[in-house]
Amino acid sequence: RHWLDVGRYADGSGRADTRLVFLGYGMARDGYANTWRYRDWVISAMNRDMPYDQFVKAQIAADLMPEPEREKMLPGLGFFGIGPWFTGDDVVFVEARANERDDKIDALTKGFLGLTVTCARCHNHKYDPISQKDYYALAGVFNSSGFWEYNLAPQNEVDAYQAQRKKVKAAETALEEYAQACALRVAETLARQIPDYMMAVRKVVLTDPKADLNKRAEAENLDPETFTRWFKYLTAVEKLHPYLKGWDALMAKGGGNDIEARKIAEDFRDLVLKVIPEKNAVIAANQDMVRDYKPDPNEATVLLPGDLMQFELFQYKQQMVQRVMETNHFYVWLDVVQGEDDQSYVRKDGIFEYRGKDLLRFLTAAEKAKLDSMQAEVTARTKAMPKEYPYLMGLKDEATPQNVKVNIRGNAHALGEEVPRGFPAILGNTNGEPLPFRQGSGRMELAEAIVKHPLAARVMVNRIWQHHFGHGIVDTPSNFGVMGERPTHPELLDYLAARFMESGWSLKAMHREIMLSAAYQLAYQSSESNAAIDPDNRLLWRANFRRLEVEPLRDSMLFVTGSLDERVGGPPQELNNPNSKKRTIYNRAARNPNNLLTLFDYPDPNITSEQRTVTNVPLQGLFFLNSDLVQRQAEALVARLGPEGSTDAENSQRIQRMYRAVLQRDATQAEISRGLQFLKKAEALYRAAPDPPKAAQATAGQGRRGRQVAVPPPDEGEAPAPPPAPAAKMTPWQQYAQALLSSGEFTYVN
C-alpha cells in the first residue's frame, strides 16, 4: 500500500451517491476498469520478494524485457498506465501531452530516485544540479512511448468486442445526429417567431410584470416554456453578450412604440436565422472530418472497452482541428439557442434548445417514430455486446522515437532547442550533458541507469525504515536534494543500501534486518534527560508511538472479530458496503476517496505521495462512537465470544477472552474490575431505556442508525448490500467491545 501511495494508485473515477462521475483524470468515463491488475501485481511481487531492481525495471520497461520475464512483468507497466491521459474537446493538445509527460517524470524521479526533477520544467532547478536539458531529456523518453493496451483475452474475443462496439457507436452516432437535426429544426421554427415572443414580453413588462406567464403565453398563442425563457432572458439585469442594447435602451425609456420595438425584434430574428444555418454547416463539417479521419499508420491505434475514448479509433498524439463559428455568431448561439455551461459545468438550456422528452412535444409523428426506431436499434446492439475483455494499461515504444524541444519557461507553445533523450547529467555523465539513450524510446536504458545508481537503493531502504519507525533516516523520502532533510544517520543509510544490494535487492531481507535490530525493538519509554537533548526522537533512543493507518486499522477490526475475508486480489469492492470484508487495500481507491479514508489521512491519489500526514481531530473520535463499521464489529466480537455469563466469575472470563482477542494480552485484575462495574451500570441503563419504535426503520439509502449513506452497486464477486436494519440499542457487552476497539492501545502501535 505504501508503494501504491508513491505510484499515485487509484481505481479511476470516484462516485457521487451511486452515480459514476467522470473526474477528468484520464480517458475513462467509468474509471480505469483494470487498474486493480497493477495493484495485484505489486502485492504479488512483494509477497514473492521480487528483487527490487527487477521491480523497478518492470514498472518502467516490462514490455522491453526478454521472454519469459516479459509476460509476468507486463502488469508492472501500470505504474505509468494508470497516470493521466487527457482527452476531450476542451483539451489543448500540446499542453495535454506536456502535462502527461510531466506526471510521468515526477512519479519516476521522486519514486525511484528521490529527486524533484520536475522543478526543472520551466528553468534550471533552483537548488539541485538538474538542468532544464535534463528534464527534457527525460521528457523525450516518454514522448517516444505511447499509451498501449495489452490484451489478456484471445484475439478473436477482442475482435468480436471491437466489431460490435463499432456497430453500437455507429447507431449511437446516427441517433445523436438525427436528434440534433430535429432540435435544430425546432430551434429554427421558434426563431421565426422571435418578434412575437419579444413583443409579448414587452407587453407583460409594461402592463403587469407579475402576471402568470403561462396564462399570458396561452393568450398570445405562444409556447409557455419558450415564453418563460424569453421573459427571463429579456428582463435579466446582466447579459453576458448584450446584443440587444437597442431593446434594453427602448425598454428603459418606457418601451417606445410598437413599430420601434417590432423593428428591433425583427432585426434580431434575422441575425438568429443567419446563425442557425452557420451552426448546421459547422456541425456537418466536423462530422465529416471525424468520418473521414485516417489514422497514422506509424502510430499505435487503440480501442478500449467501456466507451473510454473520445473517438472510437483514438491516436492520442494526433488532434483534429475542428471547424468553428464566427465568434460573435457563436455567442448569439450560446445565448439564444444552446445555452452556456454553469459554474459546475452542467449544461443549461438556451431559449430554443429542447432535448429529450422536452423536445418530443415539438416533433411530428414521423420524427418521433424514426427516433423510436433508432433508439431501439441502439438498445438491441448494446444488448448484443460481448463481455468486456480484460487488459493491462501501459506504455509501448512509438515506431519512431521523437525527442522533445525545450519548452521556454515551461510554455509548450514556445519551443527552444531539441534535447536528445537521456539520463540527467549529474547522475550519469561527467561532461555536463545528459547521458544519451540510443535504444528505441530509451526506457530500458533509463531503467538500467536507475538501478545502477546508488540513489535507487538509498531511497528504497529509507522508505522501508520510514514505515517501521515513523520517520525516515531522510525525513523527506522523495526529496534527497538540497531542500530535503539531511540524513540523521548517513553511515547507517549507506550501510543499509549496501546490504540491500548484497542481499540480491531482497525487500524481505531488509525488513528482517531492520526488525531484528536493537533500535527497532526499543519500547516506548520516556526519559527526561534524553527528551531534553532530542525531543523529536530523531536519534532513536525510544520507540515512536504511532497510530495505525486507516487500512490496518479497519483490517484489524475485521480480523479480531473474525470477520476478515482473507481472499487475495480481484476487482475493487465498495468500502461502504457492509458485505465488503476483504482487506482495505482491495476496496475502491477512488480519485475522490471515501470519507473514512480521508478522515484518517489517506493520501491524495492524484499525485505521488512520499508519506502520510497524521492528524488528531474530533471527527476521528466521533467515528469510533458513531460509525456503523465500529458498531458492527463490536456486535461481531461479542457474538464470537459465545453466550454471556450469569456470574461475575463467568463475565470475568469473558472480559479476559475479549482482551486477548482485541489487545493480544491478558487483562489486569483492575481492568477486569472496571469492566464488571461498567457492565452492571450499562445493564441498568439499557433496561431503563425505551426500545426504539418498530416504525423507526432506516429508509432506503440510510445507514443502520438512520444516517444518510451512499451504497453503490456491488462489484464483481461482492454480495449486494443488505436492506437497512431498524435502529437498535447496543447491549452492554457490545458497548464494552466498542470501547476496546476504540482504545488507544488498539489503534496505536507501541
Query: What is the structure's pLDDT at 342?
Result: 44
> pLDDT digits over 525-557, tens only?
889 999 999 999 989 999 998 899 999 999 999
Query: What is the structure's pLDDT at 472?
Result: 95
pLDDT interval class at 698 (50, 70, 90): very low
**Cα torsion for 242, 246, 252, 257, to the nearest 10°?**
-150
Alpha carbons 27 and 25: distance in angstroms, whole number: 7
Write 293-296 long-range contacts (CB < 8 A, 24+).
293/320
Instruction: Determine contact, residues 728/702, Cβ cutoff 8 Å.
Output: no
> pLDDT digits over 46-69, tens only?
999 999 999 999 999 999 999 889
Query: What is the structure's pLDDT at 498?
Result: 98
Higher pLDDT among residues 269 and 693, named by residue: 269
Residue 450: count of CB within 10 angstroms of its CB = 23
With CA atoms as reference, report the closest residue to 403 among 147, 145, 148. 145
Q: Flag whether the pTM goes above 0.75.
A: yes
Average pLDDT over residues 294-303: 47
Query: What is the structure's pLDDT at 710?
Result: 31
CA dihedral sign, ordered 687, 690, 694, 700: negative
Query: What is the structure's pLDDT at 346?
Result: 43
Is 241 a residue whose pLDDT tops 80? no
pLDDT interval class at 310 (50, 70, 90): very low
> pLDDT digits over 636-650, tens only?
999 999 888 889 999
Phi, psi of 702 (to 5 degrees): -105, 155
Query: What is the structure's pLDDT at 301?
Result: 43
Is 611 a residue whose pLDDT tops 80? yes
Instruction: Return the residue matching grid coordinates 455551461.
Output: 341
> pLDDT digits over 271-281, tens only?
888 888 888 78
DSSP sequence for 682-711:
HHHHHHHSPPPPTT-PPPTTB-TTS-B---
- Per the DSSP assignment, residues forming a β-bridge with 404 are 419
Average pLDDT over residues 336-342: 60
- The 3-state DSSP class for residue 272 equals helix
CA dihedral sign, ordered 105, 111, 112, 115: positive
Query: What is the structure's pLDDT at 726?
Result: 41
Query: What is the structure's pLDDT at 300?
Result: 42
- The 3-state DSSP class for residue 254 equals coil
Task: Give Cβ neighbours of residue 694 (< 8 Å, ≥ 6 apart).
Answer: 726
Q: Where are the alpha helices (DSSP H) in 192-219?
A: 194-207, 213-219
Alpha carbons 136 and 411: distance in angstroms, whole number: 13
Length of the chain: 750
Instruction: Determine contact, residues 370/182, Cβ cutoff 8 Å.
Output: no
With CA atoms as reference, report the closest residue to 698 among 689, 686, 688, 708. 708
Is 695 a residue whose pLDDT tops 50? no
Burial class (CB in 10 A: 0-12, 13-18, 19+), 48: exposed
> Which grid coordinates are listed for 683?
445493564
> Which grid coordinates are listed for 289?
472530418
Query: What is the structure's pLDDT at 294?
Result: 62
> pLDDT digits over 426-482, tens only?
998 777 788 999 999 999 999 999 999 999 999 999 999 999 999 999 999 999 999
Peptide linkage before 714 cis (omega within 30 of 0): no
Mean pLDDT (the chain) is 85
Instruction: Determine contact, residues 405/94, Cβ cutoff 8 Å.
Output: no
Query: What is the structure's pLDDT at 428?
Result: 82
Alpha carbons 324 and 322: distance in angstroms, whole number: 6
Q: What DSSP element (H or E) covers 15?
A: strand 15-16
Q: What DSSP element (H or E) covers 656?
A: helix 648-662
Is 15 a residue whose pLDDT tops 50? no
Is 321 a residue whose pLDDT tops 70? no
> pLDDT digits over 208-238, tens only?
888 999 999 999 999 999 999 999 888 887 7
Write 469-477 long-range contacts (CB < 8 A, 24+).
469/519, 469/520, 469/540, 469/544, 470/544, 470/546, 471/538, 471/544, 472/611, 474/114, 476/610, 477/114, 477/610, 477/611
Alpha carbons 356 and 541: distance in angstroms, whole number: 70
